[in-house]
Chain A
Amino acid sequence: METPDRSRPYLERAYLDHAASAPLYPEVVSVMQEALLELHANPTGMHSSARAAKTALEEARERIATLLGCLPHEVVFTGGGTESDNLAVKGVMRGVLGDAIARGDLSGVVVSVIEHRAMIAPAARLASEGARVAFAPVTSEGIIDLDRLSALLDEQTAFVSVMAVNNEIGTRQPLGEVLSLVRERSPRAALHTDAVQAPMWMDPKEFMLCDLVTVTGHKVGGPRGIGVLVVRDGVKLVAEIEGGGQERGVRAGTPDVAAAVALALALEITVARRDETATRVRALRDRLISGVIASVPDVVLVGSDSARVDGFAPFALAGIESESLLVLLDRAGVDAAAGSSCASGATEPSHVLTALGVDPKFIGGALRCSLGWSTTADEVDHMIKVLPEAVNRLRALRVERPAAEVTL
């Protein structure tokens, strides 16, 4: 068998896993390479080399603030989306829980049930530290149920998190309505949104209305290992990583200057080309969906047709296991996913699909295809070509067994 050339993978294979990690824009690679070489000094020094690094870092911060529409000092650089989410919920709640008077009065945390695990796991830990944690349900289309959210919010709620776009099914959430509800029912609460999947498909204004916003580099054509937590003025936050006082005392550690510079450029490109990319990707995505529906029986599209952002095609197939399908697709030259990348390794059904109440017949066969700036028609067509055969093979292998008889 011929070994595929791995040096330029996205020209050789169909890479339909943008929501897990998008390729870097070539311009970003060049800028980052230059920054790695030139901006090597620790930006906290007083000498010229340090000042050059510091200037580049602060310019990156200003450019990101301009793009997002906030003040530069509201942009906190972190080690990525997971860290930003952890910092948001723990940072707000540790401040409250550490204060005996506030604690009794303001201990509520409400997060949507379809949040990324980077929000669900720290919220669950806070529950063991004395916070009252509630998970807000979603509709069968994967959109937050505003009435039931409202019922969970009260005067004692300190922190609310609803993601801008879900990472498994691509549904955008009605953040404006969520914000109004939170302000009305829980006037002292900070509203956070995990917007890592959003900048490619939405105007930043649509998610920047929240008090805290998570953005990450590797979903927007930038590098990994860098993220942002926007902390709007007035939000009190306790640091999660300490010892150095960087990032205004909210996030210690030597700043990753090259990655910050690369993130600023990646966000600029993403925002500048958004309309063009979204239009092109939407056409490709729709072609993928109609191609798959036409050639594969017993497949459904999960989530909401009206609220789904352009890069997502979240399928669920009856009668197969995601993991086996991904292996066959991989051998046929397609990189796709089951659900959240961070859940890989675990084989239990996705908490998102479970929350939507997806038919058990389909739930084990989740297939998330996610498209982005580098996706081509060839990649989509390749997927449409190889998927039916992979699905048929797996379904043919599956022996329909009657339920085992149990004798006691």
Chain B
Amino acid sequence: MLPYLRDHYADPGRLHAEGLTTRVALEVAREQVAGLLGVRPREIVFTSGGTEAANTGVFGAVARAVDQSPERATHIVASAIEHSCVGDSIESVVAQRGGASSIVGCDAEGLIDPQEIASAIRPETALVALQLANHEVGSVQPVHEAVRAIRAAAKECGATPLILCDAASGVGHIPVDLAALDVDLAIISAHKFGGPKGAGAMFVRRGLRIPPLMLGGAQERARRAGLEDVAAMVGFGVAAQQVATNLENESAANFAQTDLIEKYCNGIEGVTRVGPLDPARRLPHVLCITINDVEAEPVLLALDARGIAVHSGSACSSEVLEPSPVLLAMGAEADRSLRVSVGWSTTLADAAAFGPALEAVLRDLRQLRR
């Protein structure tokens, strides 16, 4: 990123040589991100992050449907365990533009049923939102099967919904081929896999045009106005290339770490591991546990004092610790969850230290109570 912060600051929309330098860097980054996702560079629209991409996708899909048939109320189908950036956008677009949404639940492991989501499709369905993997419990959804079921159900009732896949939690950790998944829109975020904050992307399937959310400039081929943050996108591109070349090793290392944590936690009294048991159905780097008798907040603080940073619920909803909607949908303990997530900088020793620290913290906290 540094050369693009320090030396190459020209607007990539410019005709001059410096503009061309930053334009080339931006387009290389686009190719790197597209390469990680198995799509064409022209299908990648850079944004300020995953949340903006999600809002742009949801808004655009609904605006497109309204443009196509203004007299028809729009309908949206989404899983109950979407990230709040998708869930809240849907809620707000329905409130602003009218229409309705159908929220489809999941099983006790946090997995959705492709048939169930397909059966929610109506003739007026404009958008189906289905995440690739869950950010709290790490469940990897059967997106491929779901897309096929959705397309079949849509065909049957004459609906033409766009399928939006929030891939932010999965990309960089498991292989993702968006072209093979056959979705229309997807969301990714750089800071989930070693890229900078303030960088994200929306995948827009070739040939699809949705109205932009951000207006007032023709950047990103008129899909997203605003001067391109070249340095951040260069960081995003390099991170994408790094994980693309090292995905298998990274994922194996993360599995080893989360397995180690899981094994230890299984032996701690009152601790339950939630999420899919089948390794093929869970993210390598995310592990969620619930504690049956102690609040999450003191546990987080006590772990922090021991030098361990973990989280409760999803980051974005936890300025106040609210019950996790994901765990609620799974029928699990929703107030006392811990999300342990590892990554490229985590060592096996870090992972080995977690279980004993949690055990000690819980012992102390339970003793206080007596």
Instruction: Give the B-binding residues of A (Cβ under 8 A).
Output: 4, 6-9, 13, 15, 17, 20-24, 26, 29, 32-33, 36, 41-42, 44-50, 78-83, 85-86, 94, 98, 116-122, 125, 218, 223-226, 239-246, 252-259, 323, 326-327, 329-330, 334-337, 341-346
List 27 A–B pairs whose Cβ atoms lie within 8 Å, in order of A's numbering: A6-B7, A15-B10, A24-B9, A44-B319, A46-B311, A46-B318, A47-B303, A81-B226, A82-B227, A85-B216, A86-B225, A116-B216, A118-B225, A121-B215, A121-B217, A223-B229, A223-B232, A224-B232, A225-B199, A225-B229, A225-B232, A244-B85, A245-B316, A253-B50, A258-B198, A335-B17, A343-B217
Known: A8-B7, A46-B297. A83 touches B88 (CB 8 A): no
B residues less than 8 Å from A239 (CB atoms): 92
Any chain A CB within 8 A of the CB of B349? no
Q: How far is the CB of A242 from chain B (nearest CB, A)?
A: 4
A342 to B317, CA, bound (A): 35
Q: From B189, which residue of chain A is reached at the shortest CB distance? A: A254
A85 to B1, CA, bound (A): 27
Give the residue of B51, B198, B216 whose beta carbon is less than 8 angstroms from that of A121: B216
Question: Across the interface, do B217 and A118 meet the contact criterion of CB distance under 8 Å?
Answer: yes
Known: A256-B198, A341-B14. A117 touches B217 (CB 8 A): yes
Question: Across the interface, do B226 and A327 meet the contact criterion of CB distance under 8 Å?
Answer: no
Give the residue of B86, B218, B309 whose beta carbon is less than 8 angstroms from that of A45: B309
Q: From A256, which residue of chain B is reached at the shortest CB distance? A: B198
Known: A17-B16, A29-B6, A254-B315. A83 touches B214 (CB 8 A): yes
Residues of B within 8 A of A (CB-CB), count: 73
Q: How far is the CB of A240 from chain B (nearest CB, A)?
A: 7
A residues less than 8 Å from B215 (CB atoms): 82, 86, 117-118, 121-122, 125
Any chain A CB within 8 A of the CB of B5? yes
B residues less than 8 Å from A334 (CB atoms): 16
Q: How far is the CB of A350 from chain B (nearest CB, A)?
A: 14
Give the residue of B3, B17, B18, B51 whose beta carbon is less than 8 angstroms from that of A244: B51
Any chain A CB within 8 A of the CB of B64? no
A residues less than 8 Å from B230 (CB atoms): 224
Give the residue of B21, B89, B303 whose beta carbon is less than 8 angstroms from that of A243: B89
Question: Across the interface, do A344 and B316 meet the contact criterion of CB distance under 8 Å?
Answer: no
A119 to B215, CA, bound (A): 8
Q: How far is the CB of A250 from chain B (nearest CB, A)?
A: 13
Cβ-closest 6 pairs across A and B: A79-B48, A225-B229, A118-B216, A243-B85, A256-B198, A244-B316
Any chain A CB within 8 A of the CB of B87? yes
A residues less than 8 Å from B2 (CB atoms): 29, 33
Q: From A48, which residue of chain B is reached at the shortest CB distance? A: B304
A343 to B216, CA, bound (A): 9
Among A8, A21, A122, A346, the most chain B Cβ lie within 10 Å of the Cβ of A21
A15 to B11, CA, bound (A): 12
Question: Across the interface, do B7 and A252 meet the contact criterion of CB distance under 8 Å?
Answer: no
A24 to B231, CA, bound (A): 12
**Other CB < 8 Å A-B pairs besides A47-B304, A82-B217, 20 of them?**
A6-B18, A9-B8, A13-B18, A17-B11, A17-B14, A22-B9, A47-B309, A48-B309, A50-B309, A82-B226, A94-B96, A121-B225, A243-B316, A244-B316, A245-B84, A253-B49, A254-B51, A330-B16, A335-B18, A342-B216
Q: How far is the CB of B314 from chain A (nearest CB, A)?
A: 9
A257 to B85, CA, bound (A): 19
Question: Across the interface, do A342 and B217 meet the contact criterion of CB distance under 8 Å?
Answer: yes
Chain B contacts with A in 52-75, Cβ cutoff 8 A:
52, 54-55
Chain B contacts with A in 86-145, Cβ cutoff 8 A:
86-89, 92, 95-96
Q: How far is the CB of B323 from chain A (nearest CB, A)?
A: 15
A342 to B219, CA, bound (A): 7
Question: Across the interface, do B197 and A241 meet the contact criterion of CB distance under 8 Å?
Answer: no
Question: Across the interface, do A47 and B49 meet the contact criterion of CB distance under 8 Å?
Answer: no
Known: A47-B304, A242-B88. A80 touches B229 (CB 8 A): yes
Give the residue of B11, B49, B55, B227 whose beta carbon is less than 8 angstroms from that of A242: B55
Q: From B211, which residue of chain A is reached at the shortest CB distance? A: A125
A residues less than 8 Å from B199 (CB atoms): 225
A125 to B60, CA, bound (A): 13
A49 to B303, CA, bound (A): 12
Question: Across the interface, do B51 and A253 meet the contact criterion of CB distance under 8 Å?
Answer: yes
Question: Across the interface, do A243 and B5 meet the contact criterion of CB distance under 8 Å?
Answer: no
Known: A46-B300, A243-B316. A82 touches B55 (CB 8 A): no
Question: Across the interface, do B11 and A223 meet the contact criterion of CB distance under 8 Å?
Answer: no
Any chain A CB within 8 A of the CB of B250? no
Question: Across the interface, do B5 and A79 meet the contact criterion of CB distance under 8 Å?
Answer: no
Among A119, A241, A323, A326, the most chain B Cβ lie within 10 Å of the Cβ of A241
